[in-house]
Amino acid sequence: MAELKAIKLKYGNVQDVIAGKNLVVLPDALSDPRLDGLSDAALTDTPSNLSGFALSKSTPTSQQVKSFFAMNAAAQSATDPLTDEIAGNIDLQYYGPVGFGNETHPQQLSVIIDTGSADLWIPVGCGDCVNRQYEANASSTYTDTGNSFNVTYGSGNVGGTLAHDTIGVGSLKIDKQYFGAVTHVSSDFNDDPISGLIGLSFSSIAASGEPTFFENLIMQDKVSAPFFSVYLTRGKANGSTITLGGFDVSKAEGPLTWVPVISKTYWTVQFDGAVVEGKNVTGDLHAAIDTGTTLIYLSQAVASSIYANIPGAGPAANYDSNFFSFPCNSSPTISLLLGGHDFGLDLQDFNLGQEADGSKNCIGGIVGMDDAFMEGFAIIGDEFLKSWYSVYDYSHGARVGFAPNINNAQ
């Protein structure tokens, strides 16, 4: 319920974003046709899928490895381990270490990995922050621009000034990467075991007006491929990863299906509806693929249509009208239709637990929101992504790839 309130803040201007209002112009380099070749080479010259390459027990051939690294001798990839913050049976959010400062031993701070926003921020001289802060005076390359920085996220709001310094993930580093040096955070962030957040959506929606860390990696030819990929565990604190400039073949066990991005703002794809217990629920929505959101959010009308096809489902007792319940002893089949493709939703992730102690009904992980607020829009969070290894690719006009991940075999 706390996330539901926060979503209204994070996506408060979503209708303007969909309409293309007040967007930052993306650098031309991010639309360079040559990115297509880099991506295809990294995907073993098979632009449509990873068949024969992404199997968990397979290994790349020597030619595949050669094609992956031959584009630029200095380009590479880096995999960052992520931690799953768990509450009960719910995987709340995923965060990992990012290095700050151009020193021999950069300061490592934990940040949320968020494909639903486009700014990087950490606390610097923050009086109301309880988690680790960046000691900017220890970095010889830190510069505070003095320009104000304020942004609202799904978990709260932050404010401070815009700064830049050397930022790194593994061996990948960017000098003069802009970020928010925040001096204030809402209490929501102090409740989490993290210092900040790294936004990985398109910089067209960045409050800083500057390219994201990953966009700079692409434009400076520091990654072997113009995509990053994410694997999220289910109910395990350790094991999740994000790979910048590549993918981890050990985390996917099936072909990769590409879905075109229809708005270079969030990682936005076409939501065509859902299939529930074999029955179609129509939809024609923009859907943001958001690693920084826990559940799935649809308009109240679309959510109601989905639950109407689950026998025994209905509004959840003792909750507001956004939430629905279904019989705990049932096993409804639900899949989402994205870009014309069918992607299943795992019942383990859809079932959030009993409505109340002793109840025979369980809360469903698809949440309805005000129809006007969510008009033409959907948010697809970790509940979905725990079943699908996801690849976020700037090439071919921008696209998101989904491959069945190893969670499905466990």
Among residues 80, 165, 192, 290, the one annotated as catalytic is 290
| Active-site residue, 393 included | no
Six-digit token string for 340:
């014309």
Helix (H) or strand (E) holding 289: strand 279-289
Among residues 80, 114, 192, 349, the one annotated as catalytic is 114
- Rounded Cα gap, residues 146 and 264, in angstroms: 29
DSSP-assigned letters across all residues of 62-100: HHHHHHHHSS-TT-B-EEEEEEEEEETTEEEEEEEEEEE
- Rounded Cα gap, residues 120 and 178, in angstroms: 8
Contact 376, 289 (CB under 8 A): no
- Rounded Cα gap, residues 131 and 151, in angstroms: 19
Q: Which of 212, 221, 58 is nearest to 121 (CA)?
A: 212
| Active-site residue, 192 included | no
Contact 44, 199 (CB under 8 A): no
Q: For 157-189, give one letter per residue: b (16+ CB within 10 A) or e.
A: bbbbbbbbbbbbbbebbbeebbbbbbbebbebb
| Residue positions counted in the chain | 410
Q: How many CB atoms lie within 10 A of CB 155?
A: 26
Task: List, by residue number, the catalytic residues.
Answer: 114, 290
